[in-house]
Structure 1
Amino acid sequence: MSLENTTYDELEPGASFEHRRVCTLDDLYVFASVSGNHNPMHLPDNEGGDDDDNQRPVASGIWCSSLISAVLGNYLPGPGTLYHKQNLQFDGRVHAGDEVITRVTVKEKHPDGTVTLSTEVRQLETGNRIVHGEAVVIAPTEKIFYDDGNLPGLVVQRHRHFSALIRQAEPLPPLLTAVICPEETQSLGGAIMAAHHNIITPILVGNREKILQAAEELAEDISGFELVDVDSEDAAANAGVDLVTAGRAKALMKGHLHTDHLLRAALRKTGGLRRGRRFTHVFVMDVPGVDNPLLVTDAAINISPDLMTKVDIVQNAIDLAISIGIECPKVGVLSAVELINPAIASSVDAALLSKMAERGQITGGLVDGPLAMDNAVDPGAAGTKGIKSMVAGHAEVLVVPDLDAGNMLVKQLTFMAGAEAAGVVLGAAVPIILTSRADDAMSRLASCAVAAIHHTRMAGDDPKGAEA
């Protein structure tokens, strides 16, 4: 945006400017971070909110007054303006979601180069005054033109999508979950936290002494949870699978053990959890600045999947996306290029998957490929390349060519974009919650929430569950 000031000589009493602005949740988070004011009145604990002001966070009065500063510095008088003094009277409150209008009006010019302006902020819909007062500023004496397009962007690292998933899961019946080897504080703490949120009912499977020691370190009472005492990782994994096949558990959750031990038990030929499709892994990513959860698959199990494995990868991801509220998932099948190149196998597979979806061999979503990463998620990049597609630029599910690419993508989003990742294995008789030792509490909780939501939808009206 190009800004131009009004100099002291150009200012006339009565000159006025007004500016509209919507107060967003991100505004409140940014203000709290920058100002250090963490008053919970100004921070939402329920990001969904509603129309009741009592349920919506209220903006700090100083945030409201900063809107006056923005008009003075940007528009009237504009660039070059410096504050001399400001008085304020607070008459009302702004809540998240309110649109407000800020108005400044020149009242008087003074021989010393200062200017007095009346200032006010009103709620646009009602016209109610929020704050008013007078500002005295040192007006610029030279014309200044300024382009603020070079200002760095700001991404608020809050995880609203995970918060929404947790709220969605909490009213559901808790998912009876065999937690395998929760023998240290991270894995046990994640299961206990999910239990406190009423998302899972854990059955703790592993070395009793280690589990009790972890609980003691956490200062948590686990006497209300069933504990199955087994000594080794393999024995614990097999015991957890046995609980599922016996109908006593509806999900598995990885604790402090290697993933291959858990999957080996789940894939065993006798009494295993195979149900026709390949086991595939989906990361549900909460990426700051992205308007929807972003699903990445498969970045954890299938190393170099062939075409038919990719069919299961895509279908499982579509099913999960629908479960978490994406009505018709847009699936971008990634390659290094967006045009089919026989020398790049992933581009050929992507085109075949797209055609298979078109012919009904993959259902429930829109599938398009090959797409490069940029034109899969950015409408501008898709437009520049001339790609006409309902998926390009708007993909909600990203299907990677192989595990290498998926692992790199997820870790780039996590460590460079501030994303959080929830991980679930699909294609088995029950969801398998696959967490990493590096996962924080929010990731573990969100993984449980995703599993519970998906299980509930797939189970339908069958009390035994379609997946169990």
Structure 2
Amino acid sequence: MTKTLDKYSVLLARCAELAAIPTAVAHPCDATSLGGALQAARLGLIVPLLIGPEARIRQVADANALDLGDSVLIDAPHSHAAAARAVAAIRSGEAELLMKGSLHTDELMHEVTASATGLRTGRRLSHVFAMDVPSYHKPLFITDAAVNIFPTLNDKADICRNAIDLLRVLGIESPKVAILSAVETVTDKIPSTIDAAALCMMSRRGQIEGGILDGPLAFDNAISREAAVTKGIVSEVAGDPDILLVPDLESGNMLAKQLTFLAGAEAAGIVLGARVPIILTSRADSVRARIGSCAIAVLVAHARRTAQAATGV
């Protein structure tokens, strides 16, 4: 199917006039992670601080004809040390974004979530996939498919808040959130339907602000207005969601990967709820998806700068 809109190019266009953001890149020790960081730098999105075994990074660059240019290299003996040093760079103000290199996600997130030295805030950390789905009429955001395995109701509330805040930064004033389950009716036999109903009530009572929530919705009712009408569902969200809030990590991860490998979608990824956005890429990500992840993080970082300037904090 031919794409009618390159949704990531819209993000890049919004970044065109923005200053590049200093970014701590943790352990970029393979061609994919190092090349992605360097390309983002060439596009003017980030100023990379390449943190890891310096000799190994240079070897990867030489072996793959990657020009390090004037990139700053910070030597760290191994991946654990690189993750710790990258988080320290955020805490010290050397960098405003954190980017995963060729280390395990768990290694990086262990340092991010460390109680004394990490990057936690009052919010639950959560991951958002920004999907460019050829058959869908606008960007589609799926959360959480990478961090929270079995989120509680309160976790889901923060997951929802993080996603809404992100989309407002991206220019969507009132994001529509479809809270997914297997069915569209509330039943104690499927706990995710009860969570969905509670989240909607939390929105009505002002506990979740800035978005339009509806759920529970089965996937067909969420994506297809015709399917919703057939089942008698009256909804502002059905057929036009910006955000799909999934019941748990397993369902979200499978949904995102099905869209990627069966529907030709591309998926940029970012972790929210920490002191800074975290660019969490996968070795299977396309170059466009990696750049899309960087563009989203840059927009969030600039929004944080603007908010801090306004409040003086």
Instruction: Bin the TM-score by the shorter chain.
Output: over 0.9
Q: Deviation of residue 272 (structure 1)?
A: 1.1
| Residue equivalent to 1:179 | 25
RMSD: 1.6
Provide the rounded CA distance (Å) in 1 between the counterparts of 2:219 and 2:238.
10
More helix by share: 2
Which of 64, 76, 79 aligns to 1:233? It is 79
Provide the rounded CA distance (Å) in 1 between the counterparts of 2:91 and 2:166.
22
Q: Deviation of residue 175 (structure 1)?
A: 1.3
**Which residues of 2 match residues 6-405 of structure 1 at below 5 A?**
155-157=1-3, 160-405=6-251
Amino acid at match of 1:297: T
Q: Which has the larger radius of gyration?
A: 1
Q: Deviation of residue 463 (structure 1)?
A: 4.9
Provide the rounded CA distance (Å) in 2 between the counterparts of 1:250 and 1:463.
15
* Relative contact order higher in (CA < 8 Å, ≥ 6 apart): 2
Identity %: 49
Provide the rounded CA distance (Å) in 2 between the counterparts of 1:165 and 1:247.
25
| Residue equivalent to 1:416 | 262
Helix, strand or coil: the match of 1:183? coil
Q: Which runs of 4+ in 1 moved over 3 A?
A: 463-466
Provide the rounded CA distance (Å) in 2 between the counterparts of 1:283 and 1:188.
21
CA offsets 1:138-168 (integer angstroms, 9 cap, x no match): xxxxxxxxxxxxxxxxx21476111111111
Provide the rounded CA distance (Å) in 2 between the counterparts of 1:395 and 1:224.
43
Amino acid at match of 2:178: G
Helix, strand or coil: the match of 2:62? helix
Q: Is the 8 A contact 1:157 1:418 kept in 2?
A: no
Q: Deviation of residue 217 (structure 1)?
A: 2.6
CA offsets 1:54-95 (integer angstroms, 9 cap, x no match): xxxxxxxxxxxxxxxxxxxxxxxxxxxxxxxxxxxxxxxxxx
Helix, strand or coil: the match of 1:462? helix
Please give the TM-score of this superposition, normalised by the length of structure 1: 0.65
Q: Deviation of residue 325 (structure 1)?
A: 2.1
Amino acid at match of 2:89: L
Please give the TM-score of this superposition, normalised by the length of structure 2: 0.97
Provide the rounded CA distance (Å) in 2 between the counterparts of 1:365 and 1:256.
35
- Which shows bigger deviation, 321-330 or 373-382? 321-330
Q: Deviation of residue 180 (structure 1)?
A: 0.6
- Over 3 Å counting, the alpha-carbon distance change for 1:346 and 1:453 in structure 2 is same
- Over 3 Å counting, the alpha-carbon distance change for 1:464 and 1:208 in structure 2 is farther
Provide the rounded CA distance (Å) in 2 between the counterparts of 1:435 and 1:159.
23
More strand by share: 1
Helix, strand or coil: the match of 2:308? coil
Q: Deviation of residue 459 (structure 1)?
A: 2.7
Q: Deviation of residue 461 (structure 1)?
A: 4.7
Q: Is the 8 A contact 2:144 2:252 kept in 1?
A: yes
- Over 3 Å counting, the alpha-carbon distance change for 1:292 and 1:180 in structure 2 is same
CA offsets 1:397-419 (integer angstroms, 9 cap, x no match): 00000001001100110001100
Amino acid at match of 2:34: L
Q: Is the 8 A contact 2:97 2:276 kept in 1?
A: yes
Provide the rounded CA distance (Å) in 1 between the counterparts of 2:61 and 2:310.
32
Amino acid at match of 2:41: A
Give the paired residue count.
Answer: 313
Provide the rounded CA distance (Å) in 2 between the counterparts of 1:449 and 1:289.
22
Provide the rounded CA distance (Å) in 2 between the counterparts of 1:272 and 1:302.
18
Provide the rounded CA distance (Å) in 1 between the counterparts of 2:87 and 2:22.
13
| Residue equivalent to 2:297 | 451
Amino acid at match of 2:87: V
Q: Deviation of residue 451 (structure 1)?
A: 0.4
Amino acid at match of 2:265: A
Provide the rounded CA distance (Å) in 2 between the counterparts of 1:235 and 1:465.
34
Q: Is the 8 A contact 1:293 1:396 kept in 2?
A: yes
CA offsets 1:261-317 (integer angstroms, 9 cap, x no match): 000001111121011011100000000021211000000010000000000000000
